[in-house]
Amino acid sequence: MKIATYNVENLFDLQRNGHEYKEYIPYAKSNWNDKNYRKKLKNIAKVIKDINPDIIGLQEIESLQALKDLRYTLKREGVYYQYYKIANLKSTTIKVAILSKIPFVYTHEIAVTSSYRYRNILEVKFKIGNEDLYILINHWKSKAGPESMRIVSAKKLRKRIEELGKNKNIIALGDFNSDYEEYEIFKRKRKHNDTDGITGINHILGTIKYQNSSLNIHLAPYDFYNLWYDTELEKRYSYIYRGKKEAMDSILVTAALLDKKCIDYKPHSITAFEKPYLFKGKEIYRWQTTRSRLRRHKGKGYSDHLPVIAEFVLH
């Protein structure tokens, strides 16, 4: 079973609802129009088709219409996701979503806070064989905000894991806007550190404790293991900022997915999707806009993030 996460970089539809970023107001001077929208859909669909995941968590989807249009584009390309959901109970500008070939038991939105500065987490429960599997799709506050904002999301996620109970198969994935070793970055860069060095991804979710890449580890009941530790150091990235590789996107698992029983993570399967067409020189080939004051769409490129993939097996 192949599971992926992908920040698709601002997949906006062509309906005006007042929440759009300036350059995504449809049919305005920025050229966000039918032609460029179809090109964006086609390019993102190509990436997903080439990965061909069973389940993919998505970030930066504007609306249910945008998700349906992506699903339809994939279907035309020969990849059918019968099951889909977007976290749209809160009118944030962009949202998280899921496409799946496997049916859900249920979906549930976790409201981090009532503030529109925080995007809801999407919880999806599956039944795989006789086992329950929970996937929680995240998109935490960007680096435009301090670490205290990401900690709010981390605490809400951990609270939900504790509510679900011990020994559950839980995957938390998405764009955490945090490197897998964010606490180390904090030692060098103080800009976002308003928490005395405490980070959401490392301290609140417990990933700081488990940096053994052999998977021969024993997690505490509600801690997560970051799968990036299960691959070579130079491969641990999904984003490039000013020439430096960072792992803004992660796939985290609970102890039950490492115990070699029932559903289990397949060792060494964690990877960023690094096809040559997703790069332009040494940079990720993001969706292209002009550098003018009002950015105009060029109709080429993909996303500023790479997808991240992991495989799981059923014993």
Question: Over its length of 315 residues, how does the chain's per-residue pLDDT go in tens digits?
Answer: 999 999 999 999 999 988 899 999 999 999 999 999 999 999 999 999 999 999 999 999 999 999 999 999 999 999 999 999 999 999 899 999 999 999 999 999 999 999 989 999 999 999 999 999 999 999 999 999 999 999 999 999 999 999 999 999 999 999 999 999 999 988 877 788 899 999 999 999 999 988 777 787 889 989 999 999 999 999 999 999 989 999 999 999 999 999 988 899 999 999 999 999 999 999 999 999 999 888 999 999 999 999 999 999 998
Detail the DSSP E strand segments found in the chain.
2-11, 55-61, 83-86, 95-100, 104-110, 121-128, 131-139, 169-175, 225-226, 239-241, 244-246, 249-253, 263-265, 271-272, 279-280, 283-284, 308-314
128 DSSP assignment: E
Q: Residue 106: what pLDDT?
A: 98
Q: Residue 179: what pLDDT?
A: 96
Q: Residue 215: what pLDDT?
A: 80
Q: Are 39 and 32 in contact (CB under 8 A)?
A: no
For 96-119, the DSSP string reads: EEEEESS-EEEEEEE-S-SSTTSP
Instruction: Name the nearest CA neighbour of 275 among 50, 1, 55.
Output: 50
Query: How far is C-alpha 307 from the chain's CA centre?
Result: 8
CB contact set of 2 (below 8 Å; sequence gap of 6+): 51, 52, 53, 54, 55, 309, 310, 311, 312
Q: Are strands 283-284 and 249-253 parallel, antiparallel or unpaired?
A: unpaired
pTM of the model: 0.96
Helix residue spans in the chain (DSSP H): 34-51, 64-76, 147-164, 182-188
φ/ψ of residue 111, rounded to 5? -80, 115
Question: 242 — alpha (psi -120 to 50), left (phi > 0) or beta?
Answer: left
Nearest-angstrom CA–CA distance, 221 and 224: 9
Q: Are strands 95-100 and 83-86 parallel, antiparallel or unpaired?
A: antiparallel
Tokens of residue 278, six digits: 């997703």
Instruction: Name the nearest CA neighbour of 128 among 168, 69, 89.
Output: 168
Mapped onto helix, strand or coil, the DSSP state of residue 280 is: strand
Q: Residue 18: what pLDDT?
A: 86
* Residue recorded with tokens 């500008």: 93
What are the counts of helices (DSSP H) followed by strands (DSSP E) for the chain? 4, 17
Of how many residues is the chain composed? 315
